[in-house]
Amino acid sequence: MRLTDLRPLMARRRDGALGFECFRTDPAAAALGWPDDVLEQFLFDHGDNPAFIDDYNTIDLHTITWQLETIPAAHFTGMPTGVSDEGCIESYAQNPVHWVTVRPPQIALHWEKHGTWLRPPLLIERRLLDPDGGGLQVLEGRTRVGVLRGRLREHLHVAPHHQAWVGRR
């Protein structure tokens, strides 16, 4: 199953006829067996985003297994995102304080107190996109990763490790 195979489901979601609870129990979404947090951030929020379709439609969604992993902060400093959103992580990194303050207050508090994001972003093994690729790529959470990079650069409180959902074959 590819992202474009979910068009009927995404159309119902986009029309407001489908909340997340119904979305996650739809046979197409449920068959993936993904954690709810991944299903919501990737498919429910962005499954019909043209940039996501351009970047990730080649992946057979059934081949991805998601695991919550702990990743060193340093690994995020050069991690790319999809080609269609190239440069956006760095644009968020230029003003990390701004991108945290325009979010709900608990996000800024969590960064100050714990030095990390409140919700784990989604990373994907680059080999899923290119058999010769290596490492991880930011699939969803570009703002969060940008804030992390900016906070590191500005010597603000950053935890040494961060949780992220990682999709692998």
d(CA 55, CA 127): 13
Write out pLDDT tens, residues 124-166: 999 999 999 899 999 999 999 999 999 999 999 999 999 999 9
* Mean pLDDT of the region 28-57: 95
User: Given the structure tokens 């269609």, which residue do they identify?
Assistant: 84
Instruction: Name the β-bridge partners of 122.
Output: 140, 165
d(CA 136, CA 79): 7
d(CA 130, CA 163): 25
> What pLDDT does 135 receive?
96
Per the prediction, the chain carries an average pLDDT of 95
Contact indicator for 38, 123 with CB cutoff of 8 Å = no
> What pLDDT does 166 receive?
98
Helix, strand, coil abundance in the chain, percent, nearest 5:
50, 15, 35
Structure tokens at 83: 């080609």
CA 151 vs CA 32, 94, 97: distances in Å: 35, 9, 8
The band of 78, judged by pLDDT with boundaries at 50, 70 and 90, is very high
Structure tokens at 42: 């990737």
d(CA 159, CA 98): 19
First to last CA, the chain: 14
- Using the predicted structure, report yes or no on whether residue 32 has a pLDDT greater than 80: yes
**Three-state SS sequence of 79-118:** CCECHHHCCHHHHHHCCHHHHHHCCCHHHHHHHHHHCCCC
Structure tokens at 130: 């290119």
Q: Please report, for the chain, the start and end positions of each structural domain, with discontinuous segments joined by +.
A: 3-62, 65-168
The band of 16, judged by pLDDT with boundaries at 50, 70 and 90, is confident
d(CA 77, CA 158): 12
